[in-house]
Chain A
Amino acid sequence: MAPVCSNDRLRSLLREVIHAINSPIGVVLGTAQFVSEGIRGKRLEELTAEDLQEIQEAMAVIERQGRRCADLVHGMRALVHAGQLELKPTDVQACLLAPLEEIAWAEAGIEVRKDLEADLPCIMGDPEKLREAFLAIERRAFQAMSAGGRFGLVARKTETGIEVCFEDNGVGLAPEHRSKLFSPFHSTGPGEGQGWALAAASLVLDAHGAELELQSEPGQGTRVIVRFPVSPDPVPKPEA
């Protein structure tokens, strides 16, 4: 299995995990301490209506924050699996087109333009993981164009491999969001879990040896470019 995380990347990820988990844990701890102080030493029959209300509210807070922690764990688990690839001959074009069909572009007033070279070489990859990764990137573009727009998908052969470009003319990203777009704890738009999906996409592409480049300016749209290396030995077409 290919390594998917450098030490720097791991450190940065751990910092984000700490940051994300600190608040819910702090709220649970603070709430539990606060309510415990109020009822310490009281017997059950001595609890007032106010005490009971405090306890009920505290339980609701603890449950909500516990769920946040559980969601973090689910997301992190998804990241753990993101880099574990089952390699087989993979048709990149098919992986790009399938997720496109899962998004309701036309209903949202978005025009889709596709320009994919017909004879793109196949790669050794994990088609299922690649489809999920491309879906996350395409969905992000969709979410960036809430007022409609244009989405372009271009794939072409280069001297060293395959270059894929996902381009939208949506809201674009400010520099502070640009650097965090593929962070698991970052979301610039509506939709829970988008941060995790994009973080997983980045790990999947990394595990395929692909380079990821992001070009974006506020109000100018966003371009995500993925460059896959292609082995000099031809990879056969996958079985249908």
Chain B
Amino acid sequence: MKLLVVDDDPGMCRMLVRVFRADGYTVLAVGSGAEALDLLGRESVDLVLLDYYLKDMEAGEILARARERQWDVPMIVMSGMGERETAEKALQQGAVAILDKPFDLADIRRRVKEHIGPGG
């Protein structure tokens, strides 16, 4: 099972990569929306963990592009603001779940497992 972490905070990327690799997933990480779109266009992944507010675009834009290009990959959006409108917007745009930062590891693991099952 392959995960893609998209977060402009390198510390957050490294932490998630470490945790999910230890759980047996293959994990890729990128720091911008443009890199995420580029990677999703040429590589198949099973789930995306996507920060809502990236430096170059918001998660909504990535969700919309994914829909346009018919990439059928579940995306869990991580939001730092905890605003109901942001969560609702992301869900309308096609996110499968929203996680408020800072999150508990148990929560994010549970969400990932719900959608793609356990790592290898």
Instruction: State in angstroms the CA–CA spacing of A188 and B70 once bound together.
Output: 34
Interface check A19, CB cutoff 8 A? yes
User: Across the interface, which residues of A come within 8 angstroms of B120, CB to CB?
Assistant: none
Chain B, 22-46, CB within 8 A of any chain A CB: 22
In the complex the two chains form, is A18's CB within 8 Å of B15's CB?
no
Number of interface residues of B (CB under 8 A): 20
In the complex the two chains form, is A19's CB within 8 Å of B53's CB?
yes
Instruction: State in angstroms the CA–CA spacing of A65 and B105 once bound together.
Output: 17
In the complex the two chains form, is A18's CB within 8 Å of B19's CB?
no
Indicate the member of B22, B104, B105 with the most A CB atoms within 10 Å: B105
Residues 2-28 of chain A, each 1 if its beta carbon lies under 8 Å from chain B, else 0: 000000000000010011001111110
In the complex the two chains form, is B80's CB within 8 Å of A19's CB?
yes
- Of the stretches A30-38, A123-131, A134-142, A143-151, the one at the interface is A30-38
In the complex the two chains form, is B101's CB within 8 Å of A23's CB?
yes
The smallest C-beta distance from A23 to any residue of chain B, in angstroms, reads 4
- A30-B15, A61-B15 provided; 7 other pairs, C-beta below 8 A? A19-B53, A23-B80, A26-B101, A26-B102, A30-B102, A33-B105, A68-B11
The residues of B with any CB-CB pair to A shorter than 8 Å are: 7, 9, 11-12, 14-16, 18-19, 22, 53, 80-82, 101-106
